[in-house]
A and B are shown apart, each in its own frame.
Chain A
Amino acid sequence: MASLSQLVDSVVVTTFDIDQPEVSVGRRADNDIRIDEISVSGHHAVIESVPNAYLEGTVDYYITDQSSTNGTFVNDLRISGRQRLNSQDLVRIGWNEFRFVDEDENAMEKTAYILD
């Protein structure tokens, strides 16, 4: 499973599990991950978990900005469309920093192999 850990001065303060197909992030109370901070829009971003169509047993995570005022950033680059997240990516929601961690990704082989 994957998670999003909020960082304050590079220290993890809260960890949110990405445990459903769509996890919403924003300032309003109806979000799955609620961040009550002024730079965060009401409905700021969505993180989707999607089974990979070509690689059985692998789940891909995608983040999409919901036209937020202050933007969603992945590794300091403001995203426009839907973007795939890699484990250890730094995600910024407005001025709030998070570390995205996908435990399963680290178990993947790094060398080439065949999909049989």
Chain B
Amino acid sequence: MEYMVSGRTDTGTLRKSNQDAIDWCVDERSGQALLVVADGMGGYEGGEEASRIAVDTVMEMLAPALTEGMPPEFRRERVQSALDLASERIEVRKVQAPDLARMGTTIVLAWVSGNSALLAHIGDSRCYQLQQDTLHCMTRDDTVVQSMVEDGSIREQDAPNVPFRNVLTRALGAADATATFGEVSLASGDQLLLCSDGLMEALAEEEWHTRLLQAESVQSGVNALIEGSLEKGAKDNVSVVLLSTV
């Protein structure tokens, strides 16, 4: 299976800084790819730094593992150690710079290999799988609101109105950096989409599919989502990393 990956992050129409960070790499020889999106928080300097540390650490620790040809059973452990290291580095920066004391970040990553992908996430950045006519969210938001939807306190459609809808129950930079893992099976033609919450807030999910179906390449698919969010006045930073399989 061959992969094509593209990504883009944009400050949006309202924010002064971009606290999202993205990266990806494809190892054609081993037929593997790594995609990552992080959404920082805790003041704009802190947010920028936390998401950058997270993405850089993940790439530093995991990109070599793609070429090494690491057996699948060791991948979760490797991913978790990369996240633990990112968490430690964020902690160190917090101690060094009191201004950054509240910094943290979400993270979502996909380690794609053959016809499957290992997903790991902390926070409310998401991974979606796009198959022919369907779009599935493959991650569960670590948010107060998600917990309230699940315990029946509120209905899903009421979630956007709850004032603390952005409060995370887990994040890199908080005490516990344990990620939630998932596996996805990929068929030829499937796409994997990683995004920050800026995309969900700006552009309705129903519109993603149309825009992606009309796109001629993975790059134009990414641009269609970002441009679409900006047309809708994206208040938050918007980030997308998209993988297409052939």
Residue in A closest to B168 when the chains form the complex, CB atoms: A114
B41 touches A52 (CB 8 A): no
Question: What is the CA–CA distance of A24 and B163 in the complex, to the nearest angstrom?
Answer: 25
A110 touches B163 (CB 8 A): yes
Q: Chain A's nearest CB lies how many Å from the CB of B181?
A: 21
Interface string of B132-166 (1 = CB under 8 A from A): 00000000000010011001011100100111101
A116 proximal to B (CB < 8 A): yes
A115 touches B166 (CB 8 A): no
Note all chain A residues with C-beta closer than 8 A to B104. 113-114
Q: Chain B's nearest CB lies how many Å from the CB of A94?
A: 23
Q: A116-B174, A116-B175 are in contact. Are A83 and B158 (CB under 8 A)?
A: yes
B153 touches A60 (CB 8 A): yes
Residue in B closest to A112 when the chains form the complex, CB atoms: B166
Interface string of A37-59 (1 = CB under 8 A from B): 00000000000001011110010
Q: Count of chain A residues with Cβ under 8 Å from any Cβ of B?
A: 22
Partner of B147, one of A53, A83, A105: A53
Most A C-beta atoms less than 10 A away, residue of B144, B166, B167: B167
Note all chain A residues with C-beta closer than 8 A to B168. 112-115
A87 proximal to B (CB < 8 A): yes
B144 touches A54 (CB 8 A): yes
Note all chain B residues with C-beta closer than 8 A to A108. 163-164
Note all chain B residues with C-beta closer than 8 A to A113. 41-42, 102, 104, 166-168
B163 touches A87 (CB 8 A): yes
Residue in A closest to B106 when the chains form the complex, CB atoms: A112
A54 touches B41 (CB 8 A): no
Interface string of B62-77 (1 = CB under 8 A from A): 0000000000000000
Note all chain A residues with C-beta closer than 8 A to B162. 84, 86
A111 proximal to B (CB < 8 A): yes
Question: What is the CA–CA distance of A60 and B168 in the complex, to the nearest angstrom?
Answer: 17
Note all chain A residues with C-beta closer than 8 A to B163. 86-87, 105, 108, 110
B interface residues (Cβ-Cβ under 8 A, vs A): 39, 41-42, 102, 104, 124, 144, 147-148, 151, 153-155, 158, 161-164, 166-169, 171, 173-175, 197
Can you sample 20 A-B contacts with CB below 8 Å?
A52-B144, A53-B147, A54-B169, A83-B158, A84-B158, A84-B162, A87-B163, A105-B163, A110-B163, A112-B124, A112-B197, A113-B102, A113-B166, A114-B42, A114-B102, A114-B168, A115-B168, A115-B174, A116-B174, A116-B175
Apart from A84-B153, A114-B41: 6 A-B pairs, beta carbons within 8 A: A52-B144, A54-B147, A86-B162, A112-B124, A112-B168, A113-B167
Among all A-B residue pairs, the 5 with the closest Cβ atoms: A112-B166, A114-B171, A54-B144, A114-B104, A112-B41
